[in-house]
Chains A and B, each alone.
Chain A
Amino acid sequence: MGTFSIVYFALLIAATAAAAYFKNRTALLLLFTLLIVSFLSGLLGGTNVLVGFTIAAGLLAAAAGVSYSFKEALIAILPPEGAKLMRTAPLTAAFGLLVILTYIVAAIFAPVIAPFGEAEVIGGAFAPPDDQMLLGGDQLGRDLFSRLIYGARNTVGVAIVTTALAFLIGTVAGLVAATMGGWVDQLLGRIVDILLAIPQLIFALLLLTIFGAGIIELTVVIAVLYSPLVFRLTRAVAGNIVVMDYIEAARLRGESTWYLVSREVLPNITAPLAAEFGLRFCFVFLAISALSFLGLGIQPPTADWGSMVRETASLISFGLVTPLIPAAAIALLTVAVNFVVDWMLYISSGLKE
């Protein structure tokens, strides 16, 4: 047992005891579980596992620290309204915002940030990381880091456009169905039922095989396939609004359906729709990545995280982490968006008061 293990356990036991002494239940349970797990895994896996734990804890602490500083910075910068909102935001939301902001910056300034072009061949195939290529090279010797940056632009960009299109179709149809009711509602509802009855990924593969796998086809196909879910949500929340007296008042005034939909109903359902947008964005993003992985999504040489995973997948058998890096980029964004969405749902549900 090395010095590291002794210090590790000493610190952990002291922290657990402190938590117990100050009657902090959550902290105590957390630390105690960690202690037991450390004992067991330390016995089985040796010091390395403990080092892993320490690194994980350190990363978590670093992320928390950065998020906290980011949150406080935002409070200081934003106008009073925004600052008030941020002050009540949980740390996870701040973390999510920070990650999303980083991705946006990477996507917009990709040519400035990336040291090389996305299709530029720099070194040998699967070159190891060095000073020139921070994360090494891919199967053709292109810089993985540069491609990761460009990937943010392509993958995220396509995902945003697709989600926006899906929302446009779904929201308009849902609002019209809820406001007009009757046969319009029935018709739209049945069309949606048909779309939902076919497994999405398989349907997408089928349609992309028929129409070809260009960016535009990809966007439209995915948007159409994801719009039924938006339709369902919109129709449900709008259904609660159209029974309100102010809608009745507007109907009795003789207002057109378009006015009812756009001016009276839509402003009242933006909060749940915005939350849903974040959530759907993740699914669309993953769907595009999955399609790219299968070779039907964004086509080479355009950098895209999904296809990057596929192209370097074989490296995993050599114990290299290269294919995991673009996968981690996808995972991180998904987690970040979900953090923000959770926070928005919390706000829109009115739980804050």
Chain B
Amino acid sequence: MASEKSVLLTIKDLRIEGYSDEQWIEIVHGVDLTLHRGEVMGLIGESGAGKSTIGLAAMGFTRDGCRISGGSVNFDGIDLTTATRGEKRALRGSRIAYVAQSAAASFNPAHKLFDQHSESARLHRTENWKDSREDAIELYRQLRLPNPDEIGFRYPHQVSGGQLQRAMTAMAMSCRPDLIIFDEPTTALDVTTQIEVLAAIRDIVEQFNTAALYITHDLAVVAQMADRIKVLLKGDEVEEAETVKMLSDPQEDYTKSLWAVRSFERDEKPRPPEGTTPLVSVKGVHASYGPVKVLHDVSFDIHKGRTVAVVGESGSGKSTTARVITGLLPPSEGHVEFLGTPLPRAYKDRTKDQLRQAQMIYQMADTALNPKKSIGEIIGRPAQFYGGLRGADLKKRVDQLLDQIELEPSLYYHRLPSELSGGQKQRVGIARALAAEPTFIICDEVTSALDQLVAEGILRLLDKLQKELDLAYMFITHDLATVRSIADEVVVMKEGKVVEAGGKTEMFTPPHHEYTDLLLSSVPEMDPDWLDKLLKERGGITNLGEAASSQI
């Protein structure tokens, strides 16, 4: 079928400028792209590579403060750079659709799913209310949403994140568009939910022969979804090739470095001898938020100089455990011991020295650093507070800490957090924790908001610091690749209970607990056939994600 494979979208020498500091700066420097009907192209790159900007430009749209300054975007014979507003409106939603990263933020919380689904269908296809509702049910069924006849009557907050993302895909499909742009549709989801969405998207795109631009920074995901992959770096194209060829034989150094990210791995450290007093010991902790019980009899030990990774889906109680250890949430039963002595339950009752011993690094470096304080002040405060350092001593200590996190002191001392990149902010967060000279650090999803290259740098830094300072880490994460690279011991949590705990090597070799197995097998691999194999193994798409996890 020749027409099936005809060219749908051609982008030629696309240049986009952004307005900042009172001048226009080019952020996309002449990118070419050709997409055929029914083809899925993956756009990958770190943040700031211009992936989303190009994705939006494919709809003839730019964000506020951006403009297309050159080149052309030709969609099925229509040049979107010169098309009038009316022409573009006729295309959007009906022939080109967009699926955003955060479905929760993109749905209007005040309307039911059906009403939002039918809107573009009724606008563009002049369907009546009943037809579009039936169509929605049909699409929900194809996307394997539970209870497709009724889910549309729910409000967005009444369905889970993975379901919402699929409902959004259904909405994009409502007019059977020729092109869908997926902007990181699974980045905000858990691994177990992610494959469910991936499988559903892939199915429906194939079925309607829809072309798609799939934007992501996760290589393993793009390997499952895309026919071709285009790698972008700072608004320039690095290379483009068929998925299989790209994975097996990348040409450019940058691409190779992206591919090599997951290579960082270190062996499990030898276990401490039996009978050693653990640094931190969580003993039979129960905790609740009001009447809702979130932790049930959680116990585990963390030894000096070792890393314990706590893994599980969101809502499994990982972060709550951290809150109990730090004393932000006093447990209802059980207690936390530090070197054998029980800690007071609430942080307010702990001594300055007890507080100093346990520090925390947060997931969102943006909200973890006070935007109005300079880096020097942020890092210096714990040293001043606990160590009583002043003046030149304090400056010296801050410089030393900045050196430790590999930031040049003279350049960064006076900067504000807003003047740093995401990875640098996370480093400052680490330095602030180090400034207290702790023995134990809780790392709460420290790499999940970062690009893979940057995340790897952070992991290597944490590892280096552990060796130098003999720190113990409690590493909260849902990313098993991170666990594999940095952990010594793993604690798997589900619904507020510890389901399995043990050394890393032991955990990654079968047999596992069922739930651990589900988590492990849900992590996408850099093999284009991975998803197919997994689907075969698990007996079809109905047996993924929430369905699978609720069976355990």
Contacts and interface: CB of A to CB of B under 8 A. Distances in A.
B34 to A, nearest CB: 34
Interface stretch (B336-344, B360-368, B481-489): B360-368
Interface string B405-420: 0000000000000000
B355 A246 contact: no
A268 B362 CA distance: 20
Given A87-B22, A252-B326, A246 B367 contact: yes
A253 B385 contact: yes
A255 B385 contact: yes
A252 B347 contact: yes
Interface string B329-371: 0000000000000000001001010010000101010011111
Interface string A231-258: 0000000000000111011111111000
Contacts of A263: 373
A130 interface: no
A253 B367 contact: no
Interface residues of A, number: 18
Given A252-B326, A252-B360, A245 B368 contact: yes
A267 interface: yes
B347 A267 contact: no
A264 B369 CA distance: 10
A84 B22 CA distance: 9
A353 interface: yes
A251 B368 CA distance: 12
A117 to B, nearest CB: 47
B11 to A, nearest CB: 27
A251 to B, nearest CB: 7
Interface in A330-353: 353
B65 interface: yes
A246 B369 contact: yes
Contacts of A267: 370, 372-373
Q: Which one of B371, B372, B385 has the highest number of Cβ atoms from chain A below 10 Å of its Cβ?
A: B372
Contacts of A251: 328, 347
A249 B432 contact: yes
A277 B248 CA distance: 63
A23 B346 CA distance: 68
B129 to A, nearest CB: 37
A268 B418 CA distance: 13
Given A84-B22, A255-B385, A248 B370 contact: no
B382 interface: yes
B436 interface: yes
Interface in B243-276: none
A25 to B, nearest CB: 16
Nearest to B323: A248
A245 B355 contact: no
Contacts of B360: 248-249, 252
A252 B368 contact: no
**Of A87, A245, A264, A353, most B-chain CB atoms within 10 Å:** A245
A268 B382 CA distance: 20
A15 B449 CA distance: 57
B22 A254 contact: no
Interface in B429-452: 432, 436
A255 B384 CA distance: 12
A290 to B, nearest CB: 38
A245 B370 CA distance: 9
A353 B371 contact: no
B426 to A, nearest CB: 12
B432 A244 contact: no
Contacts of A84: 22
B364 A245 contact: yes
A84 B21 CA distance: 9
Contact of A245 (B20, B350, B352, B367): B367
A246 B352 contact: no
Interface residues of B, number: 26
A249 B355 CA distance: 11
A87 B22 CA distance: 10
Which of A244, A252, A268 has the most C-beta atoms of chain B within 10 angstroms of its own C-beta? A252
A249 B368 contact: yes
Contact of B370 (A87, A254, A268): A268
Interface in B81-110: none
A248 B65 CA distance: 35
A268 B372 contact: yes
Contacts of A245: 362, 364, 367-368
Nearest to A87: B22
A264 B352 contact: no
Contacts of B367: 244-246
Interface in A261-278: 263-264, 267-268
A252 B382 CA distance: 11
Q: Which of A244, A253, A255, A353 has the largest number of chain B CB atoms within 10 A? A: A253
Contacts of B355: 252-254
A249 B436 CA distance: 12
A231 B52 CA distance: 42
Contact of A353 (B65, B350, B386): B65
A125 B370 CA distance: 62
Nearest to B366: A245
A261 to B, nearest CB: 13
B385 A264 contact: no
A17 B94 CA distance: 41
B370 A246 contact: yes
Contact of A253 (B65, B370, B382): B382
Interface in B10-48: 20, 22
A264 B352 CA distance: 19
Given A254-B352, A254-B355, A353-B65, A249 B371 contact: no
- Among A248, A249, A263, the one with the most B-chain Cβ atoms within 10 Å of its Cβ is A249
Contacts of A253: 355, 381-382, 385-386, 436
A248 B328 contact: yes
Nearest to A246: B370
Contacts of B370: 244, 246, 264, 267-268
A84 B368 CA distance: 29
B342 to A, nearest CB: 18
A211 to B, nearest CB: 40
B478 to A, nearest CB: 19
B368 A246 contact: yes
Contacts of A255: 385
A245 B347 CA distance: 15
Nearest to B370: A246
A87 B327 CA distance: 50
Contacts of A244: 367-368, 370
B325 to A, nearest CB: 11
Contacts of A268: 370-372
Contacts of B369: 246
Interface string A77-97: 000000010010000000000
Nearest to B350: A254
A184 B20 CA distance: 44
Nearest to B436: A253
A141 to B, nearest CB: 56
A249 B362 contact: yes
A268 B386 CA distance: 25
A245 B326 CA distance: 13
A251 B382 CA distance: 12
Given A87-B22, A244-B368, 20 more contacts: A244-B367, A245-B362, A246-B369, A248-B328, A249-B432, A251-B328, A251-B347, A252-B326, A252-B360, A253-B355, A253-B381, A253-B382, A253-B386, A254-B385, A255-B385, A263-B373, A264-B370, A267-B370, A268-B370, A353-B65
25 contacts: A244-B368, A245-B364, A246-B368, A246-B369, A246-B370, A248-B328, A248-B360, A249-B360, A249-B368, A250-B381, A251-B347, A252-B326, A252-B327, A252-B347, A252-B355, A252-B360, A253-B382, A253-B385, A253-B386, A254-B347, A254-B350, A254-B352, A254-B385, A267-B370, A268-B370
Interface of B: 20, 22, 65, 326-328, 347, 350, 352, 355, 360, 362, 364, 367-373, 381-382, 385-386, 432, 436
